Amino acid sequence: MRPQVTVLDAGGQYCHLIARKVRDLGVYAEVAPSETPAAELAGRKGVIISGGPSSVYDPGSPTIDPQLLHAGIPVLGICYGQQLMAHILGGRVEKGDRGEYGFAQLDLLRTDGLFRGITGRQQVWMSHRDAVQDPPPGFDVLGSTSTCTVAAMASAERGLYAVQFHPEVAHTPCGTQILTNFVFGACGCVKDWDPAGQVQAIENQIRAVAKDRNIFFFVSGGVDSTVAYTLCLRALGPERVHGTYVDTGLMRQGETEFVRENFASLGARAFAVEDAAQQFLSALKSAVQPEAKRHIIGEEFVRVQQRILESEHFLDGRWILGQGTIYPDTIESGGSAKADLIKTHHNRVAGIQKLIDDGRIIEPLASFYKDEVRAIGRQLGIAPELLDRHPFPGPGLAIRCLCATLEAPVEKLQEGWLLPVQSVGVQGDSRTYRAVLAIDGFPDSHEESSSLINKMDRINRVVAEVWTSAKLRDMRAVPGFLTAERLGRLRHADAIVRRLTHASGFDHAVWQFPVVLMPLGTPERPDSVVLRPIDSVDGMTASVVRMPKDLLDEIVRELSAIPGIAGVFYDLTNKPPATIEWE
């Protein structure tokens, strides 16, 4: 299909989310490098410039062909895209001393054009450091916030529009209307796209890539690998698709049995379970840093895969490897040309990349997001108990079990307690690895946690203290590694949370519910549990969900009885500035 809208990738973590939002409007969109010549974009009805982690003043920062802004094609700049548009056209962009990450209130000066149908003060989502101070000549300021004078600007007669905030994320409720106004109003697009109608095209792609080769799948039992596996079964037939589930020892309670039973129901004829727990735990015994864990797990997966492939004679050229990779896996791993590395996913480490380079991998869902994958799965008729599962990370419990090598105390601050543990965040489209702030109880609004993070450069996550066996001031970070004992403790806590949230129906109110173990406690109780229920559409952004008090009390009662657990905390941080997983 010929795209009506092209999103120019300036390295933003939400670049493909923009394209997906346009597709959700029923308009086919593609992503292209930001430097794509204007001549190659001729015939597009609209162009959107994404956000990105750079400053327009950085050497080698992403740019666009300046002729695009004079070509008569409507252009929308988002975040860095607004700064770049202003910079090229003679406006003034100023470096910020402190970033703005999270909710902001937008006051509109105009309610036509880009903001048609939108009235009153609007909640928007910011994730930036630099900002436009003076718009280019001929541009009108359309809106501002308390910290951003030029939060939106336009030269409507030239078809040029820009916003500093992110209309593509769920945290900007009016964002869909803004994109609608641009796509259909400014660009004059017509509907031509149905995401759920891609099954036949994907199956044709599978046949074209596989040719006369068979496909060998290492399945996780999650939504992505299940849908990808089912598509390959349909495209090639069960005789040509082999599946193996690798039990890494990092899985949830009862997971292996669940996968074995349910994959049989898909019609898989060649399916096996490989017990590799000892191999993974041995390799991870001294790993502490999140990226080190992910790389070790990825490389161990490659070793297991190689051993199985060799032992089963799958290396004779008649087989290729199938994976359930979806787009957020690649964009957060720096897979987009300009994107900053947020976290390395296990299916994008060097060993897997070599197979990709050798043309021996098929990833039928690599251009889709989680909600689109579920739509495809529903069209395939996959059972809800498989399709509606909460996402679970490929590295398993390893990245939910935080580790430490040194003992360290908590630090009392005016705002709360600075915990001597760190987690991964995404701020201004860049990866951060910073400390966690614990506060006493729950704030009145989510904006409070965002404001604390914006104010404090040392943190990227805020948690509420729910219960502790000792005074928080007396708790310390203690050395802890990925041992069978600590993983068992986390597995027990995760099973409690899953059982109680399912019984109450709360699991249907959230998109994902990571349970995290951090090495914070006392000599007798060395670990604490963090609860992280969130809502999302595709994992690119996420909002905290507050659970009912009676359910939380019941969960805390059971968690506090687990030997070795010293505290229970509740993660209050949206994504961004925190990632969904802690590592």
Among 228, 242, 239, CA closest to 362 = 228
Task: Find tokens 């219960």 and name the residue.
Answer: 467
Q: Residue 348 contacts by C-beta under 8 Å, 6 or more apart in sequence?
A: 298, 325, 329, 330, 333, 335
CB 575 within 8 A of CB 542: yes
Tell me which residues are annotated as active site. Answer: 79, 166, 168
End-to-end Cα separation, the chain, in angstroms: 38
| DSSP label at residue 512 | B
Q: Residue 193 contacts by C-beta under 8 Å, 6 or more apart in sequence?
A: 1, 23, 26, 27, 28, 29
Residue 501 CB coordination number (10 Å): 21
Chain-centre distance for alpha carbon 276: 28
Residue 121 CB coordination number (10 Å): 11
| Alpha-carbon distances, residue 369 vs 275, 325, 384, 538, 556 (angstroms) | 30, 10, 18, 6, 34
| DSSP label at residue 391 | P
Q: Residue 74 contacts by C-beta under 8 Å, 6 or more apart in sequence?
A: 45, 46, 47, 159, 160, 161, 182, 186, 187
Lay out the sheet containing 241-247: strands in order across.
270-275, 241-247, 214-219, 319-322, 361-362
CB 217 within 8 A of CB 242: yes
CB 343 within 8 A of CB 395: no
Q: How far apart are CA 396 and CA 412, in angstroms?
A: 33
